[in-house]
Amino acid sequence: MKKQTIQIVVIASAVAVTGYLYSLKPVRLQSEEKSGHNNGMVAGSKPAPAATAVNVEALSATAKTAIGPNLSVHINELEGQLKAAQGTEKTSLQLQLAKAWDNVSQPAPAAFYYQAAAKSENKFDDWLQAGNRFNSAFRVTQDSTLQATMLAGSVEAFTKATAMQPNNLEAKTGLGVAYVNGGAPSPMQGISLLLEVVGKEPNNWNANFNLGLFSMKSGQFDKAVIRFTKLIEMKSGDKRSIEPYFYLAESYKQLGEKEKAIAAYTACKEMMSDDPEFTKQIDRYISELKH
């Protein structure tokens, strides 16, 4: 995948998730003694709408529109081969397609192909990869039907994975994220899993990142700042710091700390200075803060 395409996907995802965070209706959590949070709010107390039929063909067609014909060539070839494949060859092609969609940052169709392979061979890694892609797809879509399908897929995948390896922190983190997103009767079931993970592994990237996002959802922007600052310190100068810088800026903005927000936006922009579309978008955010 072209570098610029990757960068555009990163900022597009960040903007989409930020809009999602502020569109959610928050609900009250339990006390800090039980959750590690104060009596703030977090989204996701109501279960997501029931999942309806969403097929990989439709998702593939939509994703191909997003990535363009040049990046779709290899995927089209694999899809053609899959139609006539059976048995282990079919599973192999499903995994190849999952990885091909990964290479162009399209988690929704990738999730379905990992899921199909997992259902065929019931391997831990396939369930884990399916769950991760379902969670990623949930984050970047505002379509309630797709969200319900992705959420159901992530809960199924991580439930299978944790049953196979109960102590695996990546699977436990993924299940915690799915629970907070609405995959469990109470979001606290998910928060508790994430806090359990960081209790065992304080520098766990994914758990800290999602606790930061959920702090933003709950309006606890001071706690979000702590999480995202920690992530930046862990990956200083790494491209993986782009999203934490972006959400750090958003959190500072919500706290009214404009200068710190501008500094975080600027750092985010500098990390992707070779992408003019990205820098224009960040410049707009900075301009809004200055006026």
Domain span holding position 114: 48-168
Is 66 within a domain? yes
Is 23 within a domain? no
pLDDT at 18 over 60: no
Is 279 within a domain? no
Is 114 within a domain? yes
Which residues, other chains included, contact 270 with Cβ-Cβ below 8 Å and sequence gap of 6+?
A: none
Is 127 within a domain? yes
Is 42 within a domain? no
Is 85 within a domain? yes
What angle separates helix 124-140 from helix 169-178, to the nearest 10 degrees? Answer: 40
How many angstroms separate the CA atoms of 227 and 215, rounded?
A: 9
Is 53 within a domain? yes
- Number of folded domains that form the chain: 1
- Of residues 273 and 43, more confidence is placed in 273
Strand, helix or coil at 1? coil
For residue 140, the domain's CATH number is 1.25.40.10
Q: Give tens-digit pLDDT for 127-164.
A: 999 999 999 999 888 898 899 999 999 999 999 999 99
DSSP 11-61: HHHHHHHHHHHHHSPPEE---HHHHSS-S-EES--SPPPPP----HHHHHH
Q: Give tens-digit pLDDT for 175-230.
A: 999 999 999 999 999 999 999 999 999 999 999 999 999 999 889 999 999 999 99
Token pair of 205 as six digits:
């990237």
Question: In terms of residues, how long is the chain?
Answer: 291
Instruction: Decide: 112 and 56 in contact? Cβ < 8 Å.
Output: yes
